[in-house]
């Protein structure tokens, strides 16, 4: 495929897709809807039938699928299933794009492994659920990292199912960004669960409480920008409005209230404990709570 061909807006690049689970099926649907020639393979061939009916070519094996073209996208359950699917496939001159969720370390290993077999490698982290795929207004997107040349050659095709965010040549970066954002999400969800637990046995309507929770978190979350600036500057004291000593004193009320309400502090305590530990170390009273990050990374 020449660059000129790829840039021709009428040209629809062929895509080979391994994996037609919930996410793979959504990807297949998006590429077919956009008119891309699609070759699919799925371990259970029944999942390929609806796509065959819509014009997709169905490969009998993963190796046969990989042999049929250049751009090979994988969306399988986990790293082990990718290993299994690619065993015996000839990857020479292939552009491998692995959208299967995995760790940064495995992505780096996979890149080395793929390059040794003559392929260029991109790893992807999907920040969307299947209904968001092929729906640009949903805001879903995919992190990509690895071969910049491969991303550049296929960026228009990769942008069909969801927005693309290329985060660097390090093949582990897509997974790193993916996992970092998912981890932040679980932290936020744990706070939300604790808040609902506090009101659970009270005459507070959860549906009236939810908008208050969402508005409050929305107002607080931009603090991440200040945290990033502090991490870059190393300045943890300038412009601090709620210093560590004040926050630790205040957090005792959070713990007491949970106990009074008969609510476990299991979700709340880990972060508060880190703040207390920092305070005990001394010298951090007036600092921003962003300092706890230093305790986490050792």
Q: How far is the CB of 14 from ligand NDP (least distance, A)?
A: 20
**126 contacts ligand NDP (rule: CB under 6 A):** yes
Cβ pair 230, 290 in contact under 8 A: yes
Q: Which stretch binds ligand NDP (CB under 6 A): 39-47, 144-152, 167-175, 257-265?
A: 39-47
At 220, is the secondary structure helix, strand, or coil? helix
User: Is 23 a residue that touches ligand NDP (CB under 6 A)?
Assistant: yes
76/198 with CB nearer ligand NDP:
76
The residue within the footprint of ligand NDP, chosen from 1, 63, 67, 77 (CB under 6 A), is: 77
Smaller CB separation from ligand NDP, 20 or 263: 20
Name the one range near ligand NDP by CB under 6 A: 5-13, 49-57, 71-79, 260-268: 71-79
Question: Does position 74 bind ligand NDP by CB under 6 A?
Answer: no
Indicate the burial class of 281 (C-beta count within 10 angstroms; 0-12, 13-18, 19 or more): exposed
Point out which residues pair with 41 in neighbouring strands. 18
Task: Decide if residue 85 touches ligand NDP (CB under 6 A).
Answer: yes
Q: Which residues pair with 120 in a beta bridge?
A: 95
Q: Give the single-character DSSP code of 162.
A: S
Cα distance between residue 123 and residue 200, in whole Å: 42
Q: Is the dihedral of CA 159, 162, 165, 166 positive or negative?
A: negative
Distances (CA, A) of 115 to 3, 109, 118, 214, 294: 21, 10, 5, 45, 36
Mapping DSSP to helix (H, G, I), strand (E, B) and coil, where does residue 284 land? Answer: coil
Q: Which is nearer to ligand NDP, 24 or 172 (CB)?
A: 24
Q: Which of 16, 20, 58, 290: binder of ligand NDP (CB under 6 A)?
A: 20
Fill in the per-residue mask, 93 to 122: x = in contact with ligand NDP (CB under 6 A), - = not in contact: -------xx---------------------
């Amino acid at each position: 495929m020449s660059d000129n061909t790829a840039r021709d807006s009428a040209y629809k690049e062929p895509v080979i897709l391994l994996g037609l689970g919930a996410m793979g099926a959504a990807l297949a649907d998006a590429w077919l809807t956009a008119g891309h020639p699609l070759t699919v393979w799925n371990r259970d061939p029944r999942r390929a039938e609806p796509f065959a009916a819509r014009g997709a070519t169905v490969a009998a094996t993963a190796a046969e699928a990989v042999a049929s073209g250049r751009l090979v996208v994988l969306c399988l359950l986990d790293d082990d299933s990718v290993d299994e699917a690619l065993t015996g496939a000839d990857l020479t001159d292939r552009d491998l794009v692995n959208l299967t969720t995995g760790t940064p370390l495995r992505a780096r290993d996979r890149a080395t492994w793929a390059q040794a077999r003559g392929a260029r490698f991109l790893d992807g982290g999907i920040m969307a659920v299947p209904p968001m795929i092929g729906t640009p207004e949903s805001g879903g997107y995919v992190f990509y990292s690895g071969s910049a040349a491969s991303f550049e050659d296929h960026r228009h095709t990769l942008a069909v199912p969801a927005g693309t965010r290329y985060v660097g040549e390090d093949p582990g970066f897509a997974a790193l960004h993916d996992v970092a954002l998912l981890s932040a999400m679980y932290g936020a969800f744990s706070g939300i669960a604790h808040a609902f637990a506090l009101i659970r046995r009270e005459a507070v309507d959860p549906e009236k409480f939810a908008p208050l929770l969402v508005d409050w978190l929305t107002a607080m979350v931009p603090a991440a920008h200040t945290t990033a600036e502090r991490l870059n500057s190393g300045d943890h004291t300038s412009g601090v409005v709620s210093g560590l000593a004040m926050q630790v004193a205040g957090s005792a009320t959070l713990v007491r209230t949970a106990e009074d309400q008969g609510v476990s502090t299991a979700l709340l305590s880990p972060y508060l404990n880190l703040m207390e530990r920092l305070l005990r170390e001394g010298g951090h009273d007036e600092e921003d709570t962003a300092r706890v990050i230093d305790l986490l990374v050792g």
